[in-house]
Chain A
Amino acid sequence: MNTLIAISGLGIFCLFAEIINLRKAIVPVAVLGLIAILGITVSEFDHPSAWYNNMVIVNNFSVAFSSLFIVLTIFILAMSGDFYKDKPSKFSDFIAIKIFLLAGAVAMVSFGNLSMFFLGIEILSISLYILAGSDRLSILSNEAGMKYFLLGSFASGFILFGICLVYGATGYFDVAEIYALSQGAGLPVWFYFGIAMILIGMLFKIAAAPFHFWAPDVYEGSPTLVTATMSTLAKVVAVATLYKLVTSLNANMPHLFQVVIVAIAILTMAVGNLLALRQENVKRMMAFSGISHAGFMLLALLSLTTAAGTLFYYTAAYAFAGIASFAVITSVTKNKATQNVSDFNGLGKTNPVLAAVLTMSLLSMAGIPIFAGFFAKFSLFTQTIEAGYLVAVIAGVISSIISIGYYFKLILAMYNKDADAETTSFPWVYTVVAVLAIALNIGMGIYPGCMFDLLK
């Protein structure tokens, strides 16, 4: 709860900073502030508490994920300084919105009441609508914002309906009460209707097939840094929330639900990887890659009791690799009109560090040891096998193989071609962020135990 309050306070400060002409201080203060908040959050680890009639529940799950979100936001904010430097008038807005977005995210993983969940998801979504359309003069950005908004609020409607049905069936918004009731029998069928609708709404948020159509378009159209935010932070938040929802609302997931999850996961992995193969636009490619990863993460829902640690590890691995790669992508395509694979030609020569980082992050996403992505996938596979869904694992393996195709397309371009255009400068902040993120990723890979064990 302290985290939530502090984050909101920080956001408000950023808005004020504009007024009192402290624009230059915004990014450093925000980053430092978030670091401090990270400290606060981490200190709450192993001290579960409940706030305001269980509106907010702080437990290890929420603390762990909140910390991850905060770290990701720090990275994103660090890059914002340079990214928005030619838009000084809106600077504080963008920063503040990102911080509010973080507040929504934290709310989503620490809710104790469905209303808190709903508010969190809406804060997050509305922030993202704004950010997606934030490049006001670009028709692509407008289109991205509009598409995201329309589809997002459509999905919100479903979630809301679901919440309503659950409320109608149980008479509670409090998840603990709902959980207790769901253990017994005799709930009306619309309870399950409600659960299903909430889940489908969340599947939309994590861009699982067939609810994924918005993702590539929105990722492509949004400003690159926003894409980075969506593909790392927003995706991780949605997955964590989905997991939390499923575990806290309905521990005994009926077999039918699992079948649906498996089917959707396989479909998502297949769609994501297959469509990524043909993409020339890197952001769009990363969108499809993100879709396929969402498919993987869905597999965690098959072993609800044990998968929290694995999911945390997977999301962190994915998010750090994503941040690292988007730092490079942002840096490379900053002054370019397109974000095509060919824009990366010759990066291996012009900027070996960035090229190496991008390579490593792609390898991590592809699931090559010693990067964290490997352990993430592996332990997910192990758990899925234990849950008895070998077929899902096989599908995962096949889609991993396919994924090499497009990840390596980018790597090949970097190392095997000469640069088309003259090289531009690469601001140091992207490099720092990229290196830090990939270092975290590799660290997780070398000593994976530290994170797997957090959520035992």
Chain B
Amino acid sequence: MENILNHIGIENYIFLSVILFCIGVFGVLYRRNAIIVFMSIEIMLNAVNLLFVAFSTYHQDAEGQVFVFFSMAVAAAEVAVGLAILVAIFRNIGSIDIANLKNLKG
């Protein structure tokens, strides 16, 4: 079956995803605002989702796209929990800077 991958090549999708994933990783590493960190994690996940879709097309197989739904649902749940914890933290210390979370160490 004719598809776009014949023209662009699966490698490029992989590279794109890797780049996106790395952007996410660096976002997580360098930002201290919890919300932005969350968003960076979302970028990582979505980079993967993108790749899933690409592979799904590559293999002419729907499973990959189904998996994307799973992973989106999971990501949503995860972020919900994360935000809830964040709210609790904000109520306790009035800040969402993760650099302030250094009570536990040693």
A residues contacting B by CB (< 8 A) are: 115, 118-119, 122, 125-126, 129-130, 133, 136-137, 139-140, 142-147, 149-150, 153-154, 156-157, 160-161, 163-165, 167-168, 171-173, 190, 216-218, 220-221, 278-279, 284
How many positions in chain B have a CB within 8 Å of any CB in the partner chain?
A: 45
Expressed in whole angstroms, the minimum distance between the Cβ of A314 and any Cβ of chain B is: 28
Contact indicator A160/B101 (Cβ below 8 Å)? no
Partner of B45, one of A142, A160, A168, A284: A160
Cα(A165)–Cα(B58), bound, Å: 12
Contact indicator B52/A167 (Cβ below 8 Å)? yes
Q: Which A-B residue pairs are the 6 nearest by beta carbons?
A: A217-B104, A157-B44, A168-B55, A171-B59, A145-B85, A133-B85
Cα(A39)–Cα(B106), bound, Å: 43
Cα(A356)–Cα(B41), bound, Å: 46
Contact indicator A115/B88 (Cβ below 8 Å)? no
Contact indicator A160/B14 (Cβ below 8 Å)? no
Partner of A129, one of B14, B81, B105, B106: B81
Chain A residues with CB below 8 A from B14, complex form? 168, 190
Expressed in whole angstroms, the minimum distance between the Cβ of B84 and any Cβ of chain A is: 8
| B window 61-106: CB within 8 A of A | 61, 63-64, 66-67, 70-71, 74, 77-78, 81-82, 84-86, 88-89, 92-93, 98, 101, 103-106
Q: How many residue pairs bridge A and B at CB < 8 Å?
A: 129
Contact indicator A149/B51 (Cβ below 8 Å)? no
Contact indicator A164/B103 (Cβ below 8 Å)? no
Cα(A119)–Cα(B34), bound, Å: 25
- Contacts A118-B70, A125-B78, A163-B67 aside, 11 further interface pairs with beta carbons under 8 A come to A129-B78, A143-B101, A143-B103, A146-B82, A146-B86, A149-B78, A154-B25, A154-B44, A156-B78, A167-B67, A171-B55
Contact indicator A150/B70 (Cβ below 8 Å)? no
Chain A residues with CB below 8 A from B78, complex form? 122, 125-126, 129, 149, 153, 156
A–B pairs, 18, beta carbons within 8 Å: A115-B67, A146-B101, A150-B41, A153-B82, A154-B44, A157-B25, A157-B41, A157-B45, A157-B48, A164-B17, A164-B48, A164-B52, A168-B51, A168-B54, A171-B59, A218-B104, A221-B103, A221-B104
